[in-house]
Chains A and B, each alone.
Chain A
């Protein structure tokens, strides 16, 4: 008898656990999946107040793990925020809902070239959010002559004074692309010989590198642990707020231009709320608030005038037209190109 009741309890527990995924959809709710503090909490509150839609936030740590989670069948979120580098992959893997963003009422606010990204040229699946570039930051007070050339050469083949004072992002896409641009190679090259050239460059740089890490870059620059740090422009802007002599470099050879997008994954619980959010985020006022909070520029016309002065006046965030010509949009490489890149990255740190 005792055993029978034990089995019954077990079955009851299983039933609770196995309850189907349905029947949760409530009206007026939005399940946002993003980085923490990437969409400003106050902006979310205002969205809730203006639309009556209650937002709940869950967070992920990187594009790659978010992609893996969705590909393994996880999800149920209404909005995720992939970068351009994985947007095409998500569309081709049939993970996203078609929302026809280009037909939304506020889409006319989107500035070129963000209205026609290579990954989603018709903006059928995505709405642009923030964008930035990847260059490097150095402390002008600690480099010889107080100034470095605007070239990846300073970073990959550093002057002897800077040896051992360099930090590199722990991000194969960023490091490989920067090296490829410096060497004048295609960032998505399918030729293993190109991969070998890049590996040779990175191996030559390695003895001069203090750390490969994408975590805590602002602390590292501000504390003077390193003199030069490969960095995103927004992080560089915040480093400069702590260390006035920090300078962000736009290398003449070209640099990664990345952008993040709001998309609606298939299986979203509240697709209608999601579309309201997408359209709302294309208003200049809302985009400006996001930029002011995060330190990254946005893709919405008319938001420039609403930016904080230090953001608007910092060339790291708001570059002049000549600097913009150095941008190279991040590409979603082929399987073969990715394999070469991956092998280079593994061998560098074997």
Chain B
């Protein structure tokens, strides 16, 4: 009998095969769809090819066939990237100390807290956003609480602003940052840290030189799990943010809904995929170069 260790590819095979069939094939299907003419009543016109979906990303045509540059979609993509980056940064700021604290707990308490962090997400996204509407609304609990402290005067007008969107998104994605970081931190050898202290390092030095580098794989995993899905978020931007600015997730969704332009939706998704892949490869390159240098 062959040992599993001699055939690592066999271990990865189930997941890989599954995703080839149910992810790579659908992506191929969408690449094909993006090359098609849109159907007169929605859907696509199978068999008639055109590059119009990609042209639409950057240019618009008027009735006479005049082509002019159109920056609408670039603006929407950039705004979404910015919002996802801000959300990732805030979840990091909240997530690292929380994960550190959890990793310092006795294991059983830590595991229970791990569970507690995810429990709120057993409830539905819409209902959670409704709860935030009530909290953030003028005259709501936050308004009165802050007014009672005397620092700010109501109404604060937080609801239906980008700040409210940020709160909603941070809320939705926080566990996806905390858990991977905790998992990486939990393994850190206590003796290593104690040794650093013994050598006279102060807490912040220990944090920046010992703890955070060891937590790096967790931080990287958390950043991916927050940043990428956040790009597709559309509920909080509408319900809390006021829906005045489109997000890329919203825009792509609309192509398969009210806009009835599947080829354009597929093209947008593929361009987004390309941007994300390129930036991930770039990050990995830089990391590798840094590792090689040190």
Contacts and interface: CB of A to CB of B under 8 A. Distances in A.
A349 B41 contact: no
Interface in A18-77: 62, 64-65, 67-68, 71-72
B238 A215 contact: yes
B251 interface: yes
Interface stretch (A110-118, A128-136, A142-150, A338-346): A338-346
Nearest to A1: B1
A163 to B, nearest CB: 13
B259 A215 contact: no
Contact of A346 (B38, B43, B72, B138): B72
Contacts of A284: none
Interface string B230-261: 00000000110011111000010010111111
A280 to B, nearest CB: 30
Contacts of A223: 137
B41 A93 contact: yes
A171 B256 CA distance: 14
B189 interface: no
B130 A211 contact: no
B133 interface: yes
Nearest to B79: A350
Contact of B242 (A62, A65, A210): A210
A329 interface: no
A350 B246 contact: yes
B245 A349 contact: yes
Given A89-B42, A93-B43, A349-B245, A62 B257 contact: yes
A71 B42 contact: yes
B137 A93 contact: no
Contact of B244 (A92, A206, A342): A206
Given A93-B42, A211-B160, A349-B244, A65 B239 contact: no
Contact of B261 (A210, A213, A215, A342): A342
B244 A212 contact: yes
Question: Which range holds the interface residue count of chain A?
Answer: 35 or more
Contact of A350 (B62, B72, B254): B72
A67 B256 CA distance: 9
B60 interface: yes
Contacts of A346: 72, 76, 246, 251
B41 A89 contact: yes
A64 B130 contact: no
Interface string B118-159: 000000001000100100011000000000000000000001
Contacts of A347: 72
A168 B180 CA distance: 41
A3 to B, nearest CB: 8
Chain B interface helix/strand/loop/mixed = loop
B63 interface: yes
B75 interface: yes
A2 B258 CA distance: 52
B292 interface: no
A350 B79 CA distance: 9
Nearest to A173: B258
A349 B246 contact: yes
A68 B256 CA distance: 6
B258 A225 contact: no
Contacts of B42: 67-68, 71, 89, 93
A205 to B, nearest CB: 11
Contacts of B62: 192
Nearest to B253: A65
B238 A216 contact: no
A108 interface: no
A201 B38 CA distance: 29
Nearest to B241: A211
B15 interface: no
Given A2-B1, A211-B242, A65 B257 contact: yes
A213 B244 contact: no
A168 to B, nearest CB: 9
A8 to B, nearest CB: 14
B199 interface: no
Nearest to B10: A3
A213 B238 contact: yes
Given A89-B42, A209-B244, A216 B133 contact: yes
19 contacts: A65-B256, A67-B42, A67-B260, A68-B43, A68-B256, A68-B257, A172-B259, A210-B160, A211-B160, A211-B242, A212-B242, A212-B243, A213-B238, A213-B243, A215-B239, A216-B130, A335-B38, A343-B60, A346-B76
Interface of A: 2, 62, 64-65, 67-68, 71-72, 89, 92-93, 170-173, 191-192, 206, 209-213, 215-216, 219, 223, 225, 335, 338, 342-343, 346-347, 349-350
Given A172-B259, A215-B239, A342-B254, 6 more contacts: A93-B41, A192-B62, A192-B63, A212-B242, A346-B246, A350-B76
Ranked 5 nearest A-B pairs via Cβ: A64-B257, A212-B243, A71-B43, A211-B242, A350-B72
